[in-house]
Amino acid sequence: MKRLTVLVDMDDTIEDLLGAWVDTLNEQYHTAVDPNDVSDWDVAKFFPTLTKPQVFAPIYNDDFWRTVKPIDGAADALQQLIADGHRIYIVTSSFYETLAVKMTDVLFRYFPFLKWEDVIITSHKQLIHGDVLVDDGVHNLEGGDYLKILMDAPHNRGYDAERGGMHRVTSWDDAYDIITQYAFQSEHDGEEVEHDRMTVILYSTGCPRCKVLRQKLDNSGVQYTVNDSVDDMLALGIAQVPVLSIDGELLPFAKAIEWVNQIH
């Protein structure tokens, strides 16, 4: 399994900002908006009786952030990913005005295994180098050079994730599974690169078994050269062909076939 750098958004990915926000406004202004109906990025559209400053006031209020709760399963999944050997970075475009309270009373309170060193503040997530990004914002995933996991949210339900090259998930269990699967696939990619870096020489006289091994190598995609010099073979103590040299280690026919088979 490859150890991945996993980038994770904060708002509405590991904590329920929208739920707390809508609850606060409903309580304050006696409205009855359901967070599930907030199908647009602009929350103000769903509170037509309120002004924009009224709708956005909670975001700038320290006490509000103390009511924001984690999303089910997020802490367990992140902890498990760390235990599996992956590196987690929180990548958030949080406003600087409320950053301190948001870190202290949400992130480090519910995710105490994360530290300030694990946090990247930016509105340009595509500039961050990582293997995976988990985010509810389509605009953060689009154009990024990472595996794109879209955390389902009412505002992104109208988006065709599959068409956009993203994996939509509705839970952290599902996100964990996709990341883990990707880690195993990526390890296989790494192995192929390693095989490319090896020096593979086929010692062959063109015998029937030499041809079989050569065919196997051709099918495997391994880069190799052929040496048919009997003098070279004798100098190496090769009495029977074919022999496959892997970085100088000499494998007789059966072992060579076994080696080629384990590549795929």
Which residues make up the interface to Mg ion (CB under 5 A)? 9, 11-12, 136-137
State how far the Cα of 133 lies from the Cα of 167, in Å rounded to an integer: 11
Considering the complex, state which of residue 130 and residue 242 has its C-beta at the smaller distance from Mg ion. Answer: 130
Cβ burial of 255 (10 Å; 0-12, 13-18, 19+) is middle
3-state secondary structure of 189: helix
State how far the Cα of 172 lies from the Cα of 167, in Å rounded to an integer: 12
Considering the complex, state which of residue 18 and residue 243 has its C-beta at the smaller distance from Mg ion. Answer: 18
DSSP state of 164: T
Considering the complex, state which of residue 121 and residue 238 has its C-beta at the smaller distance from Mg ion. Answer: 121
- Which position has the token pair 């063109």? 206
User: In the complex, what is the shortest distance from the CB of residue 93 to Mg ion, in angstroms, rounded to a whole number?
Assistant: 8
Considering the complex, state which of residue 178 and residue 212 has its C-beta at the smaller distance from Mg ion. Answer: 178
3-state secondary structure of 91: strand
User: In the complex, what is the shortest distance from the CB of residue 68 to Mg ion, in angstroms, rounded to a whole number?
Assistant: 12
Considering the complex, state which of residue 16 and residue 136 has its C-beta at the smaller distance from Mg ion. Answer: 136
User: In the complex, what is the shortest distance from the CB of residue 13 to Mg ion, in angstroms, rounded to a whole number?
Assistant: 5
State how far the Cα of 41 lies from the Cα of 140, in Å rounded to an integer: 13
User: In the complex, what is the shortest distance from the CB of residue 151 to Mg ion, in angstroms, rounded to a whole number?
Assistant: 8
Q: Which residue, judged by CB position, is nearest to Mg ion in the bound state?
A: 11
User: In the complex, what is the shortest distance from the CB of residue 144 to Mg ion, in angstroms, rounded to a whole number?
Assistant: 14
Considering the complex, state which of residue 12 and residue 105 has its C-beta at the smaller distance from Mg ion. Answer: 12
User: In the complex, what is the shortest distance from the CB of residue 17 to Mg ion, in angstroms, rounded to a whole number?
Assistant: 7
- The enclosing H or E element of 234 equals helix 230-235
State how far the Cα of 203 lies from the Cα of 205, in Å rounded to an integer: 7
Neighbours of 17 (CB within 10 A): 25
